[in-house]
A and B are shown apart, each in its own frame.
Chain A
Amino acid sequence: MTDTGKKMLEIRWHGRGGQGAVTASKVLAESAMSLGKQIQAFPEYGSERQGAPVKAFTRIADQRIRQHNQVTQPDVVIVLDESLLDAVDVTEGLNDNGTLIINTQSSPAEIRQKMALQGRSLYVVDATGISLRNLGKSIPNTPMIGALVGATKLLDPKLVAEDFAKKFAKKFKQEVIEGNVQSILDAAQEVKGE
C-alpha cells in the first residue's frame, strides 16, 4: 500500500443496517490487536435502522491512539453494498493514494467507469457470492475483512481467520465458524485490483 506518511491506518466501512459493517469494524480491530497493534473501532452514531446507510471506522497503529475525533480522511474505504454507490459519496475524504474496496460482481474497469472514479487504488470482490457459497446466506462483512487484508497486505489473512475462529468459538456453531473462516480466506484470494 502507498505510504501516506501517517503512522496510523484509518478505514471507513460503508454498509446498510444489518449487513455487519459495525461488527466488521470491530472484528478487524480485534484481530489487529491480537496481532500486536493498537486499535480503535467505532460506528457513526445515529439511529440505526435495517437497510439504512451506515458508516463505521477502524483505526490501526503501532503506537497508542490518543485521538478521538472522527475519521475524515480515511486511507481505505470498504463498501459492503454496491447499491450505496448511487446513494452516498463513498470517496469523500479519500485522497488520491487511498484504496477503495467494493463488494460487486463487476470488474474494476466497470466500477471505475460507473463511478467516474479518478485516481485511488480500486479493488473488487464478490463478497455476497462468497458468503452465499460458504454460509448459504448473504453476510458480506467477513469476506470484506478478507478482501481488505488480501488487498492491502495489512495482516496475514490466515492469522485473521484463525483469530476469528478463536474469538467466536463460543458464540457460533462450528459450521458457521468454518463458513466465515473460508469466506475470509476466499475473499483474500479472490479480491481483484486493476
Chain B
Amino acid sequence: MPERMALTGNEAVAHAMRQINPDTMAAYPITPQTAMMQKFADFAADGLIDTDIVLVESEHSAMSATVGAAAAGARSMTATAACGLALMWEILYIASSYRLPIVMPVVNRALSGPINIQGDHSDTMGTRDAGWIHLFSENAQEAYENTLQAIRIAEHPDVLTPAMVTLDGFIISHGVETVTIYDDAKAKKFVGEYNPRYTLLDANHPMTLGALDFSDFYFEHKVSQLDGMMASPQVVLDVGKEFKETFGGEECYEFFEAYKMDDAEYAVVVLGSTAGAARMVVDDLRGRGVKAGMIKIRMFRPFPYQEIAKLISPLKGCTILDRSIAYGGDGGPVHIEIRSALYGYNSVPMLTNYIYGLGGKPIEPEHIMSAMNELQEAVKTGTPKRRIGFLNLKEDYVPAV
C-alpha cells in the first residue's frame, strides 16, 4: 500500500534509492546531501537493502568508483551537491562517454566562493554540457518519483546515458512535507531488473573502455553520445506515462508543466521549488484579469527546444527566471536556451530574464510579481527596463549590466 509520510526531500530520495536497491553506492558526504546518504546507510544497516556501500575519500573517487562498478555491469548510484559535483567534473564526462546509465541525485547548492551552503542552480548548470540527462524536481514527491523514473530512462537500451535528478538545497532537501511513498513491490517491479548488454566482466564478449582515441575515432565516438541523449526525450515521456498509469501520481511526467498556458498572453518560466510561488503569482494575475501562465521545466537536458518554443512563440511576453548566472553569456542558462529555441519563429514574444536566489537568497511571490509587472510594461513600451534583471537584490546595489 502507498504510505503517506512526513519526509524531507533527502529522505524521500533515500526511499527511492531503497526501493531501487542499487548494486553499489559510492558516496562522500557534503551538505546538503549528507542526510540523504545517512538515511540510505540507515536502510542498509537495518537490512532493508543489500547495496554495497563504498565509502570513499572524495567525490572524484565517488564518481570513479561508480563508473568502475557500472562498467562491470552493476546498477550503480551516487549522490552529491555543489563543490562535490564540481570535484567530480572530470569523471562526469567519463561516465557519459562510456554510456554508463548511472543515476545521481544532486541537491542543488551554491558553489564557493564566497562559502555558502544554501540553494541555487550553479552546480548542475556548470555540468550542463557534460552529456548527462538533467531532471529538475519541484518538491520532495517529485524528487522521489524522478529518481525512480531516472533509472528506467538512463538504462533504456536506446539511451544508455547517465542522469542527474536535482532538488533544491535546504528548501526541498531539508524541509519536511507530505510525501506518498508507493508500495515497495510495485516500485521494485516498475524499476525492474538491470540486465546490461555490455559489461567488462563478460569474458565471452570482451570489450575495452577508455582506450586511447585520437583523431581516428574520438570525434565519431563523441558524436555518437548524441544518439543516446537525443533518444531520451521519447523515453522520458514513455516512462512518465507508465509511471502515472502505475502509481496515479500528480507530479509532472513530461518535459515541463504548462500551468494555465492554454490562453496565456504572459508567462513565467522557472525550475524547481520556485514553481510554487510562481503558480501563486499566476493565480493572482488571473484574478485581476491578466492572462498569465507558468512553465515549469522538468527536463533541462536534453532541452525540449521545439516544444518550449511552440508554447512560448504565440505569447505577448515571457519572463525567464534563472537561479544561476552564465557569466559572460546572455543572462542565465535557461534564458539562453529559450532565446535560442525561438530563433526562426515568425512570432516571438518580448523576453526578459531575471537572476534570483543565488546562495539561498529568498524568492517571494512579490518578487515574481514585480518581474511579471515589468514584463507587461515592457510589452506596452516595446522596450524592457533591463535586459537582465535581478530579483531581491539589495536596493543600494546597482549592477553594471
Contact = CB atoms under 8 A, between A and B. Distances in A.
Interface of A: 26, 29-30, 33, 38-43, 45, 64-70, 72
8 contacts: A39-B178, A40-B176, A42-B174, A45-B118, A64-B178, A68-B273, A68-B277, A72-B364
- Chain B interface size, under 10 / 10 to 19 / 20 to 34 / 35 or more: 20 to 34
B10 to A, nearest CB: 12
A38 B5 CA distance: 10
A70 B362 CA distance: 7
Contacts of B276: 66-69
A72 B170 CA distance: 18
Given A39-B6, A45-B170, A68-B276, A29 B364 contact: no
Contacts of B175: 40-42, 68
B139 interface: yes
B349 interface: no
A57 to B, nearest CB: 9
Contact of B6 (A29, A45, A64, A66): A29
Given A29-B176, A40-B178, 18 more contacts: A30-B6, A40-B176, A41-B6, A41-B175, A41-B177, A42-B171, A42-B176, A45-B117, A64-B178, A66-B279, A67-B280, A68-B172, A68-B277, A69-B277, A69-B364, A69-B365, A70-B364, A72-B364
B128 interface: no
Contacts of A68: 139, 168, 171-172, 175, 273-274, 276-277
A50 B274 CA distance: 31
Given A26-B6, A30-B6, A69 B362 contact: yes
B363 interface: yes
Nearest to B169: A45
B5 to A, nearest CB: 8
A41 B171 contact: no
A30 B4 CA distance: 11
Interface of B: 4, 6, 117-118, 138-139, 168, 170-172, 174-178, 250, 273-277, 279-280, 360, 362-365
Contacts of A40: 175-178
B139 to A, nearest CB: 7
Nearest to A26: B176
A40 B140 CA distance: 11
Contact of B174 (A43, A67, A69, A72): A43
Given A68-B171, A68-B277, A69-B276, A39 B364 contact: no
A38 B360 CA distance: 25
Contacts of B4: 33
Nearest to A30: B6
Nearest to B272: A68
A124 to B, nearest CB: 28
A69 B363 contact: yes
A42 B174 CA distance: 7
A65 B177 contact: yes
Contacts of A33: 4, 6, 178
A35 B400 CA distance: 53
Contacts of A38: 178
B37 to A, nearest CB: 19
Contacts of A65: 177-178
A5 B395 CA distance: 32
A64 B180 CA distance: 12
A23 B362 CA distance: 23
Contacts of A69: 276-277, 362-365
A156 to B, nearest CB: 19
Contact of B360 (A29, A30, A45): A45
A67 B275 CA distance: 8
A66 B171 CA distance: 12
Contacts of B279: 66-67
Could you say which of A26, A38, A40, A69 has the most chain B C-beta atoms within 10 Å of its C-beta? A69
A129 B279 CA distance: 45
A68 B277 CA distance: 7
B215 to A, nearest CB: 49
Nearest to A27: B6
B176 A39 contact: yes
Contacts of A66: 138-139, 275-276, 279
Q: Pick the 7 closest A-B CB pairs, nearest first.
A: A42-B175, A67-B276, A68-B273, A41-B176, A66-B276, A30-B6, A69-B277
A68 B276 CA distance: 6
Contacts of A67: 276-277, 279-280, 365
